[in-house]
Structure 1
Amino acid sequence: MGRLGRGRAALAAGAALCAVAALPGQAAAAGSPGPYAYADKAVAVDGTTSSTGSAELTPGSTYKSAIARGGKLYYQLQLDATQSVYVSATAVPGRGSKVAYGDGIEVSLQDADGNDCNSGDARFGTSQSPRPITAWAVRTIGPDENRCKPAGTYYVVVERNSDPGSSAESWGTELRVVSEPGVAKGAATTPPESWNSASPVPPGGARERRAGGTSFNDARALRAGVWGDRIKPGQTLFYRVPVDWGQQVSASAELGSSDGGGDEYVTSALVMTLSNPVRARVDDADTAYDGKQKSTALEALAPVAYENRYSPIDGVAGMRFAGWYYLSVHLNPRVAGQFGKDPLDLTLRVGVEGSAKPGPAYAGSARPADEFSVSGQDEEAAASGRTDAGGEAVGGRDGMKLVAAGGFGGGAVLLAVLGVWTLVARRRAAASSARAGASSQYGPPPAW
């Protein structure tokens, strides 16, 4: 085969690899992942600087937007009088962005008169490290709620708080709207007074590899156990754990030792955050790093219960429904300056204690459906390590390992494309021999 034939064959081989890399849930394996994988079905939407003419958001949907430095944007909701509605906004600074302690994002839900139903914010804090951060707000329906109860038009207000000296570029945002139906009369409204608040004992044993995702949308599923991964400076990895009604989740993260570095250390080097099914922050923990192994753990958390929402303690109120709970782990990019750019070993120790209990008697369905429950399929996903996007339990960021671990789908695509490549190459070789010495009346060969 001539140089042109070999070149085309190489292109075909590249096309084969691209075909495998493009399989759903496996795109991150084709190369270095982006800072955040937006939902596949996220609808692009622009916020407006006024409530008038603002774009409408729908419960059960996810949206992709953006916000400029110092921006304040409006979106619209049409709500009934029977469902609580949660709105989260995840801010995604670009790689290499400069963020300060007070930089962050704030989300408010307001009625048609400009009254706040609820609001929340998220800041980068002491790490001062660019990473996805999420703020949320809720319009609650319940016997003790007097604000924002009527059906009608409501507004989501997203604001970006910026400190002097931070980067001026816009941040991407992912907005997610979730509705929760009301419950039958007689549901408990008294928050729990006590539970097992002793520091949980982290599980031991050998760690099993599970490569994290880059967002809530491709978070790697975990069950209770010890899990290993590698994390690069500046990277944020996402995992998810099914936690049913009555169950108590715990988590700790360990960063392995490094060969580099001296007497220096990085404050808030490793930051771990637990978020509930509507992406609301429940708890976080961090640790400094000096090149020696370090660990950090979440506080003891309350078992999942509907009545937790009535607690004045944020960490208890966040454990208000069953479903997927998300762990995000971030490694400060300043670690690279002290200890090198190579990834470090990460160990997650996840515990889920207690037997599942019946949930509340919901008077309707959530949007998305089954948002506040744990199914057998969810348990299976946690055992196999599927991503939230439906990807298989493959090496995620391990490049060519995807071909070996891609299962029947990926292998079948690769074999099919390579088969076509081989057939075409043989035909071209035969045609080239037949044309040897002939005139050039056929012109140049067709392009690939």
Structure 2
Amino acid sequence: MAKTTGLIRAASALALVGALLVVTPVAYAEGNKPSADYAPMMLVLDASGSMTEADAGNGQTRMDAAKQAANTLIDELPAQAKVGLTTYGTGTGSTDAEKAAGCQDIQVLNEVGKVNKTALHDAVNGLNPRGYTPIGNALKKAAEALPDEGPRSIVLVSDGIDTCAPPPPCEVAQELAKQGVDMRIHTVGFQVDAQAREQLTCVAQATGGNYYDAADGNTLGGILPRVVDRALRDYEPRGIPVDGTAEPKNAPLLKAGQYLDSMKSPETKYYSVDVPKGARVYFTGTVVLPSATTDGYKYTTVGAIGPDGQDCLVAGDTALAGDGFEGFPVSTTAKVPLVDSSSCTQQEGRYTFSIERKEDALGGDEVRPVEIFVFVEPPLKKGGDSGPQAASSDGANNGKAEFVAPGGDPVAVTGGGSFADATALPGSGTYSDSLRDGETVFYKVNVDWGQALSYRITAGPNPNATGLDAMMSAGTILYTPLREDYDRNVSVMDSKTIAEVRPVSTTPVLYNNREAEGNPYVGPNSVAGDYYIGINTRRRFSETQPPISGEVPFKLEVSVAGEPVAAPEYVELEGSSFDTTSENAGGHERAKPSSALVWAGLVAGVVLVAGAGTTLLVLSRRRRR
């Protein structure tokens, strides 16, 4: 099954890249996977005169230790990271006569862009510490150098308090937060006193970031790469830009791939997809919410209208966020033609899909990004074996796998910030990570035909607060390979007790589970591929106060049970083609209404290999409001 599993992973990575990429299955099977995006980040390094102190350990000055730590993290940066470098204190001395100039001595040495490790190394190694510490002005300049929209971060390393205020650094951070800037500032205090620690902590808390304490050079070297990893993993929406229409007429025609729109609340938009004879289309709408999202319930509903105008999903497929699950993307899937239905069963032609977004009175009406994922599944070969019959939902656990702890010492991992950046886990095992207040991270686990997934989360206790302020939720949502919200659980921790989240499990993944697609436990598990585990922590009280600073540790235990079975054999869709033109691969062309039946690009979401069994990912769960 290795070949089938590899192709499943390849197809999943392809569809999630945020561009309409159409490649040959051979290239994909060999690992030619598209790269993920990362949230832009600006690193701000203190090069003030105090950094010349030789007290960092091992005979190093503070500047030497900071350079060593920075060079280490630069070596570890992903090739697709977008990182810049700002510094202060290198252009003047620290005498009283030089203060006016020294407080403006801030330089952006490397603009934020695709990482250039050589240039970053050269800039870091060339730092000569001499002057003042204008933290407030440096934060303003770093923020101005970052993109105007989307998740982004500043990581500040300083060995002392601002010596140039006004503006006070904490007020600068608070002002950025008040402006609605989707930015976090993480601060690292390097051998700082209590006053500087308080100031740097305030800066981080104002934007929902974290403060980290580094007592010596070795500690700084261990902390800084982790802080940068955390800064890079905020959710960054992606996809080919598309404008859905307010009415079904003239809805833009989409091929297989991923698209990006935006919607306010309440609002409904329409899109169309051509379904070839015998094929199925899976259409997922994902509303991306901010990590520290407000209270209230948020709904995403996906509907489908058949070629003859019939309503295929009477109440639509609805996903919900709220009540302990704030901050997760609100994601749901529609699939047509239907299997367990009296209409929209075996009809080819143009289907129109709708995405409806709405929130309750507490939820707000801000415009949010909406990712749209279109996936096409071809029919089985004539007379081909579809595999074992559908899983049974009988029994105490509704036919889902019983969780069995995998045992072993935890392996440290760092979760990704989105579906596309989800950290791949090798399978069964015990893993450890940590989360800041309001943060959501993602992992993916490949589940082959015939296998079932189960996992358990243990989080906390929360060491960063006391009393009611220490109460935090630890929640998880499991998404199918096409991001359908399958199941969820939540628990609560405080400063003394841990959150023991009840295990989440699936039934075995079988092609014939679609025969029971009305069953929420069985139907969604009808296509093998990467399942996505989302994990979130969030404070449960004092919602108007700043997020809790610091991190909460958690343990993730994963079990993949069952021996793989033979994959179903799909046919290659007649008339399909591999289109590798740069126009389709660039990811920036807007989808436009069209009257032509579009076949090219269907394989962007499906890898077709004759005689080898084939891959597709998905199945939706029907939720009624």
TM-score by length of 2: 0.53
Equivalent residue for 1:168?
365
1:267 to partner: Cα distance: 8.1
1:20 to partner: Cα distance: 3.9
Equivalent residue for 1:325?
531
Q: Trace 1:149-298 onto structure 2 (pairs within 5 A).
A: 149-184=346-381, 185=383, 187=386, 190-193=389-392, 197=400, 199-222=402-425, 223-264=427-468, 269-291=473-495, 292-298=497-503
Residues 1:170 and 1:205: Cα distance change in structure 2 (over 3 Å): same
Q: Deviations over 1:184-224 (max 9, x none)?
A: 34636952336975632222221111111111101000021
Equivalent residue for 1:83?
279
Instruction: Tell me which moved more, 42-51 or 134-143.
Output: 134-143
Equivalent residue for 1:445?
none
Q: Deviations over 1:271-300 (max 9, x none)?
A: 111111111122111112233111213344
Equivalent residue for 1:137?
334
Q: Secondary structure at the match of 1:221?
A: strand
Paired with 1:148 and 1:338, the residues of 2 have a C-alpha distance of 51
Q: Which of 516, 522, 527 is matched with 1:316 structurally?
A: 522
Q: Secondary structure at the match of 1:264?
A: helix
Paired with 1:128 and 1:275, the residues of 2 have a C-alpha distance of 14
Q: Residue type of the partner of 1:277?
A: P
Paired with 2:262 and 2:374, the residues of 1 have a C-alpha distance of 16
Q: Deviations over 1:329-380 (max 9, x none)?
A: 11124478699321100211011112211111222376423499xx9xx9xx
| Structure 2: gaps (5+ residues) | 1-88, 94-101, 121-151, 154-227, 574-602, 616-625
1:53 to partner: Cα distance: 2.2
Q: Trace 1:266-415 onto structure 2 (pairs within 5 A).
A: 269-291=473-495, 292-311=497-516, 312-334=518-540, 340-364=548-572, 367-370=604-607
Residues 1:162 and 1:230: Cα distance change in structure 2 (over 3 Å): same
8 A contact 2:462–2:470 mirrored in 1? no
| Structure 1: gaps (5+ residues) | 379-448
1:150 to partner: Cα distance: 2.5
Paired with 1:242 and 1:317, the residues of 2 have a C-alpha distance of 18
Residues 1:266 and 1:78: Cα distance change in structure 2 (over 3 Å): farther
1:140 to partner: Cα distance: 2.9
1:260 to partner: Cα distance: 4.4
Paired with 2:325 and 2:432, the residues of 1 have a C-alpha distance of 26
Q: Percent identity?
A: 23
Paired with 1:267 and 1:21, the residues of 2 have a C-alpha distance of 45
Paired with 2:300 and 2:340, the residues of 1 have a C-alpha distance of 30
Q: Trace 1:40-55 onto structure 2 (pairs within 5 A).
A: 42-55=239-252
Paired with 2:508 and 2:267, the residues of 1 have a C-alpha distance of 38
Equivalent residue for 1:71?
267
Q: Residue type of the partner of 2:454?
A: S
Flag the structure with more relative contact order, 1 or 2, with Cα contacts below 8 A and sequence separation at least 6.
1
Q: Secondary structure at the match of 2:442?
A: strand
1:265 to partner: Cα distance: 7.7
Q: Deviations over 1:82-101 (max 9, x none)?
A: 21111111111235542413
8 A contact 2:471–2:540 mirrored in 1? no
8 A contact 2:463–2:552 mirrored in 1? no
Paired with 1:169 and 1:257, the residues of 2 have a C-alpha distance of 33
Q: Secondary structure at the match of 2:522?
A: helix
Equivalent residue for 2:618?
none
Paired with 1:272 and 1:10, the residues of 2 have a C-alpha distance of 42
Residues 1:350 and 1:151: Cα distance change in structure 2 (over 3 Å): same
Residues 1:354 and 1:199: Cα distance change in structure 2 (over 3 Å): closer
Paired with 1:77 and 1:16, the residues of 2 have a C-alpha distance of 35
